[in-house]
Each structure stands twice: as C-alpha cells, then as structure tokens.
C-alpha cells in the first residue's frame, strides 16, 4: 500500500512549486525506506557440526601424539600444562585431554589408575561430551580397564611366584636344618661307638 502511495505522489496533479517539491522529497525518502525494508538478510553462516566435532577429537589425539614424540622434560611440561588447564577450568574436554595424557604409557607421569578414574567420571555424564569425544573416552576407558586387569593379574602372579619361592626356600632351609641335625646325631653316635671300641681295645690290650 505504501509503495502504491509513493507512485501516486509522484504522479499527482501539479500543485504549488514549494508543495510539489516537498511532496517529492517526502515521497522519495519514503520509497527509499520501503525499498531498504525489502532487502533479503544475509544468510547465517552454516556450521558443519560433524566437522567441528571431528576437529575436537583430532586436537585430543594431536596432544597425545605430541606427548609421545617429546623428550622427558617436554613430556612433563605437557602433562603439567594439561593438569593446570583442567584445574583452572574443569571442562569435559580438558578433563578428557588430561585423562588421555595420564593414560598414555611410556612417560614418567603415566598414571593409569587416575586416568581411568577421570574417564569414569566423564562417562557418568556422557552427554557432557560430543559423540566423537564420548566414543574416544569410552574406548580409552575400556583399554585402561583392560590394562589395569592385566596389571592386577601380573601382580597376583608375581605375588604367587614370590610366595612359592619363599616356600621353597623355607622348605629347603628346613631340610637343610634337618640334615644338619641328623648329621650331628650320626656324628655323635659314631663318636660314642668309637669311644666304646677304644675302651674295648684298651681292655683287651691290658689282658695278659
């Protein structure tokens, strides 16, 4: 309706010069305003959610890769920085990164038990992580729990072997002690028998 009114204004019958000029100015301004209102807004940027989530997981794995490629001093610095970041702002992504670094074997700061505990806390609220991070946390936790089970079995077998070795040593010590005591008893019997033989020999030697 207003666009039609603009056309009518511009085509109206002649009026006084001043009135016509004012009307034209107002009409032009109104039409310009209406034209601007019909502009199509620029579309919002499209966010590729899958790509963003994949980037988050890539960053987590790159942190582990840097840790594995670093020397001992740099490894300690990487883990310490991840710990500080997590403690300063304990977001799920920072907790996941710290857990992954702690669970990575082959460096002085490896702590499988603490890494597994951090991952269990994350899996207690899985919706806090994006799906790829959640899958990474779940896989890492499964591997750490398997590693913990193997370590526990190794400790059990080592303890059993140590007990068996102690039992063998104790048994050998008891046998050795028994043999020593038996040897001493036989030696004593031999000495007593020798004394008796010597006494008999002395008696026979004195007999005319």
Instruction: Provide the pLDDT for residue 49.
Output: 77
**Residue carrying the six token digits 């002085």:** 108
| Number of domains the chain is built from | 1
Answer whether residue 203 is part of any domain. Answer: no
> Which one, of 93, 120, 116, 86, lies nearest residue 104 by Cα?
116
Q: Helix or strand or coil: residue 96? A: helix
DSSP 8-class letter at 91:
-
Length of the chain: 208
Q: Which residues have a Cβ under 8 Å from the Cβ of 78 and sit 6 or more positions away?
A: 63, 66, 67, 70, 101
Indicate whether 79 belongs to any domain.
yes
DSSP symbol at 106: S
pTM: 0.57
Spatial contact of 97 and 19, defined as CB atoms under 8 Å apart:
no
Output the average pLDDT for the chain.
Answer: 80
Q: Which residue has the tokens 């994949």?
A: 54
Across 37-53, average pLDDT? 65
**Quick check: is 111 in a domain?**
yes
Assess whether pLDDT exceeds 50 at residue 1.
Answer: no
Compute CA 115 distance to the chain's CA centroid, rounded to the nearest angstrom.
4
* Residue 124 is assigned to a structural domain of this protein: yes
Give domain status of residue 33, yes or no: no
Give the pLDDT confidence of 165-180 residue by residue, as tens digits. Answer: 898 898 888 888 998 9
Give mean pLDDT, residues 142-162: 91
Domain range holding 68? 52-152
d(Cα 67, Cα 62) in Å, to the nearest integer? 9
Model confidence at 33, pLDDT cuts 50, 70, 90, reads very low
40 domain-assigned: no
Any domain includes 2: no
Angle at 169 between CA 165 and CA 173, to 5 degrees: 170
Q: Which pLDDT score, from 0 to 100, does residue 159 have?
A: 92
* Percent of the chain scoring above 90 in pLDDT: 47
- Label residue 202 exposed, middle or buried (CB < 10 Å: 0-12, 13-18, 19+): exposed
Cβ 121 vs Cβ 142: under 8 Å: no
pLDDT cut 70: percent of the chain above it: 75
The 10s digit of each residue's pLDDT in 65-104 is: 999 999 999 999 999 999 999 999 999 999 999 999 999 9
φ/ψ of residue 165, rounded to 5: -65, -40
The better pLDDT of the pair 15, 140 is held by 140
In a domain, 141, yes or no: yes
For residues 10 and 26, what is the distance between their CA atoms, to the nearest angstrom?
10
User: Range with the lowest mean pLDDT among 17-31, 66-80, 95-109, 117-131?
Assistant: 17-31
Residue 82: partners with Cβ closer than 8 Å, 6 or more residues away: 63, 94, 97, 98, 101
In this prediction, residue 68 carries a pLDDT of 95
User: What confidence tier does 23 reach under pLDDT thresholds 50, 70, 90?
Assistant: very low
Backbone angles phi, psi at 45, to 5 degrees: -60, 135
């Amino acid at each position: 309706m207003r666009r039609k009114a603009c056309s009518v204004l511009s085509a109206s019958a002649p009026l006084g010069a001043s009135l016509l000029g004012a009307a034209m100015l107002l009409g032009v301004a109104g039409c310009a305003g209406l034209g601007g209102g019909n502009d199509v807004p620029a579309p919002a940027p499209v966010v590729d959610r899958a790509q963003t989530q994949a980037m988050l997981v890539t960053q987590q794995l790159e942190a582990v890769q840097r840790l594995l490629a670093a020397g001992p001093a740099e490894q300690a610095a990487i883990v310490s920085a991840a710990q500080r970041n997590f403690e300063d702002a304990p977001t799920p992504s920072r907790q996941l990164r710290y857990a992954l670094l702690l669970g990575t074997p082959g460096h002085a700061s490896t702590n499988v038990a603490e890494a597994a505990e951090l991952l269990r806390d994350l899996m207690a609220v899985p919706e806090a992580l994006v799906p790829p991070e959640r899958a990474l946390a779940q896989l890492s936790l499964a591997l750490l729990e398997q590693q913990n089970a193997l370590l526990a079995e190794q400790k059990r077998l080592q303890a059993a072997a140590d007990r068996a070795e102690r039992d063998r040593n104790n048994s050998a010590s008891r046998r050795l002690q028994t043999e020593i005591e038996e040897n001493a008893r036989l030696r004593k019997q031999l000495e007593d028998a020798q004394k008796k033989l010597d006494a008999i020999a002395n008696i026979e030697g004195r007999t005319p």
